[in-house]
Amino acid sequence: MDTLASPHATLDGVDLHALADRLGTPLYVYSASAIRERIASLQSALHGTDHLICFAVKANPNRGVLALMHEHGVGADIVSAGELWRARKAGIPAGRIVFSGVGKTEAELADALKIGVLRFNVESHDELLALQRVAQALGAKARAAVRINPDVDALTHAKISTGRAENKFGVSIDEARHWFAGRDALSHVQLDGLHVHIGSQILQLDPFRQALQRVAAFWRELAAQGHAIRSIDVGGGLGVCYRQGHDHPIDAAAYVALVREALAGFAGRLLFEPGRYLVGEAGVLLTRVIRLKQGDERTFLVLDAAMNDLARPSLYDAWHDIAPVAGDARPMTSYDIVGPVCETGDTFARARALPACAPGDLLMIRTTGAYGASMASTYNSRPLAAEVMVDKGRYAVVRQRQSFEDMVAGEQPAKHWETA
Ligand code: LLP
């Protein structure tokens, strides 16, 4: 069967062949226009609602991406001091930053309090007490939300599900009830928010509905007891399309309608923490074919990108569409698409049909704007790939390709021995 190769030789008006020739591969390319469109679609769905969108920095912490978020009034959902630092560097005001995560250290809590972040999403009683201690020591008042674990199946990959009782995230509604009952003892914590995040890459509305209904029932119960709830943070989790014709993402308007319906009557502020939805489909990873290798049983297509650049396939068996960057019509061939790293798990796809490839061909691995570069490592001493932003026919490098010197920065031979 003959087929036309992918017609997508450009992204956001920039020629991808020219970009790869100039900047080398592997290369992450992010479309600023595509990111803006996603921000706009969520913002327009939320029009008229008191809300704040806080981009989950972990999805793509690149400073160029964060600057774009900030330019459009989007805040940040952070989970570490490093993410806080990046968000602030990008100019995102502290008043638009929420701090999530099960392992915030007292040093991180103190840093974030001094900066004056909008809210701490508190995930355990121990953390609540730590926050009270740290705030008291600083003479500050911490605004906090309790992260509810609603015990809902997000119907996604087990490794990215977070809302089951067996998961480490959040606390049960029953435990949260006790927190509110003891709220008066918290002299330096203003506990007046609820938070829920049940998982990532969610493609069905039902898990969101179930989780939000539980949170809504709890909010009503608290309100009836006279506990003012000023904000409800509904987390992130909106899925994107990794496999054309197979994944059918939820429409932002339908999602927002569901949130509104579940939380009908809530007059406070709604917080959203989308990561993947805003940046996932905006990115591609450009990579070249190094060689073809005919094994006894399979034909391998060896790329210059590997699991260190994009971990999702090896970590979650995640599917990413892979396509040639334009080209002639060629017969379809089945390949195991692999990287050069010395692990069998360094496999992007097995038995994947692609137009026949030759060494030097440029391919793109799609939907890699989220959890791509952000999860990269230098395993096998492969320097971090370059990242570039494209925007209506122009491009700007937002991360230089790492040099060998950069890669070993901070390392040294053990010369100066000391005793601890
Ligand atoms: N809020 C919290 C508290 C989170 O833990 C996360 C993601 C988000 C928001 C953003 O979720 P999103 O809208 O991006 O689904 N590395 C995995 C995904 C891990 C997500 C972790 N938490 C992957 O590549 O699929």
User: What is the tens place of the pLDDT at every residue in 291-301?
Assistant: 999 999 999 99
Whether the CB-CB separation of 301 and 336 falls below 8 Å is answered with yes
Considering the domain architecture, whether residues 46 and 137 belong to the same structural domain is answered as yes
Considering the domain architecture, whether residues 293 and 253 belong to the same structural domain is answered as no
**Ligand 1 neighbourhood includes 240 CB (under 6 angstroms):** no
242 assigned to some structural domain: yes
389 assigned to some structural domain: yes
408-416: average pLDDT: 94
Residue 352 CB contacts under 8 Å (≥ 6 apart), including other chains: 322, 334, 335, 336, 337
Distance CA 292, CA 313 (A): 20
Which ligand 1 atom sits closest to the C-alpha of 318?
A: 25
163-180: average pLDDT: 94
Distance CA 171, CA 125 (A): 8
Q: Annotated binding residue at 237?
A: yes
420 assigned to some structural domain: no
Mark which of 279, 298, 319 sits at the end of a domain. 279
Which ligand 1 atom sits closest to the C-alpha of 162?
A: 5
Residue of the CA atom closest to atom 23 of ligand 1: 371
Distance 163 CA to ligand 1 centre (A): 12
Considering the domain architecture, whether residues 115 and 203 belong to the same structural domain is answered as yes
Considering the domain architecture, whether residues 274 and 285 belong to the same structural domain is answered as no
Considering the domain architecture, whether residues 319 and 187 belong to the same structural domain is answered as no
**How does residue 29 score in pLDDT terms, banded at 50, 70 and 90?**
very high
Residue 355, domain CATH:
2.40.37.10
Distance CA 74, CA 67 (A): 9
Pocket test for ligand 1, best of 35, 53, 58 (most atoms within 8 A of CB): 58
Q: Annotated binding residue at 273?
A: yes
Structure confidence at residue 253 (pLDDT): 97
303 assigned to some structural domain: yes
Considering the domain architecture, whether residues 38 and 95 belong to the same structural domain is answered as yes
Distance CA 420, CA 410 (A): 20
| Known active-site residue 342 | yes
User: What is the tens place of the pLDDT at every residue in 211-251?
Assistant: 999 999 999 999 999 999 999 999 999 999 999 999 999 99
Structure confidence at residue 2 (pLDDT): 34
Considering the domain architecture, whether residues 163 and 261 belong to the same structural domain is answered as yes
Is the confidence at residue 403, as pLDDT, over 70?
yes
Is the confidence at residue 398, as pLDDT, over 70?
yes
**Ligand 1 neighbourhood includes 236 CB (under 6 angstroms):** yes
The total number of structural domains that make up the chain: 2
Q: Which residue has the higher pLDDT, 416 or 287?
A: 287
Q: Annotated binding residue at 274?
A: yes
Distance CA 390, CA 397 (A): 9
Pocket test for ligand 1, best of 148, 203, 243, 273 (most atoms within 8 A of CB): 273
Q: Shortest CA distance to 336 belongs to which of 324, 322, 325, 326?
A: 322
Domain extent at residue 118? 32-279
Structure confidence at residue 163 (pLDDT): 86
Q: How many CB atoms lie within 10 A of CB 299?
A: 15
User: What is the tens place of the pLDDT at every residue in 320-341?
Assistant: 999 999 778 899 999 999 999 9
104-116: average pLDDT: 98
**Ligand 1 neighbourhood includes 197 CB (under 6 angstroms):** yes
List Cα–Cα distances, 376 to 261, 287, 309, 365, in angstroms. Answer: 39, 15, 5, 15
Mark which of 225, 251, 279 sits at the end of a domain. 279
Question: What share of the chain has pLDDT > 70, as a percent?
Answer: 98
Instruction: Indicate the length of the chain as a whole number.
Output: 420
Q: Which of 1-5, 304-308, 416-420 has the lowest mean pLDDT?
A: 1-5
226 assigned to some structural domain: yes
Q: Mean pLDDT of all residues in the chain?
A: 96
Distance CA 275, CA 375 (A): 14
410 assigned to some structural domain: no
208 assigned to some structural domain: yes
Residue 207, domain CATH:
3.20.20.10
Mark which of 279, 313, 334 sits at the end of a domain. 279
**How does residue 276 score in pLDDT terms, banded at 50, 70 and 90?**
very high
411 assigned to some structural domain: no
- Taking the CA atoms of residue 268, residue 233, residue 121 and residue 35 in that order, the dihedral angle to the nearest 10 degrees is -130
Is the confidence at residue 7, as pLDDT, over 70?
no
